[in-house]
Amino acid sequence: MDKITKKPLVGILMGSDSDLPVMEKAAEVLKEMGVPYEIEISSAHRLADRTAEYARTARGRGVEVIIAGAGMAAHLAGVIAAHTTLPVIGVPIKSGALNGVDALYSTVQMPPGVPVATVAIDGAKNSAYLACSVLSIKYPEVVGRLDAFREKTRQGLMEKSKRLRRKPY
């Protein structure tokens, strides 16, 4: 069991700055959970060498989980997974003519031995919660924060349900 320091434990990558409105939601969740992260743009196609280098050096720099979001022919998460054995979480992004279905298929259909844990189209929030679940194996602080978040969600929904039940029909 370890203690969290200021060193980034999660690397968030995205293929383009146009992915930022979606991917910053992952950053927000990690901030709420007190998990340090680094965030960068690096494309599988337009910055191929840099992407490979990022993935190869991530473990050595102390990164423990990588989140990669990309749209259209989304190969970012897969290319990262090809260059590291760290857990890689892919976020297919809704962009282009096919509204993210292309990115979903490109991200999820990895060959055996090179897995990418793929969340829903634009599922950046869940990518961060999943990263927290992975980290919770080693960092007990994260377990407590995940439990507190689930409890807050539960309470909020119970409140909403109560308010709805009180409405006259």
Give the binding site for ligand RP5 (CB under 6 A).
15-16, 18-19, 43, 70-72, 93, 95
CA distance 9 to 131: 9
Going by their DSSP bridges, the two strands 88-93 and 65-71 should be labelled as parallel
Query: Which of residues 27 and 134 has its CB atom nearest to ligand RP5 in the complex?
Result: 27
CA distance 169 to 28: 39
Instruction: Give the shortest CB-138-to-ligand RP5 separation in angstroms.
Output: 30
Q: Comparing C-alpha atoms, which of 2, 39, 7, 5 is closest to residue 128?
A: 39
Query: Which of residues 8 and 92 has its CB atom nearest to ligand RP5 in the complex?
Result: 92
Instruction: Give the shortest CB-83-to-ligand RP5 separation in angstroms.
Output: 18
| Cβ atoms of 114 and 82 closer than 8 Å | yes
Query: Which of residues 80 and 93 has its CB atom nearest to ligand RP5 in the complex?
Result: 93
Instruction: Give the shortest CB-91-to-ligand RP5 separation in angstroms.
Output: 10
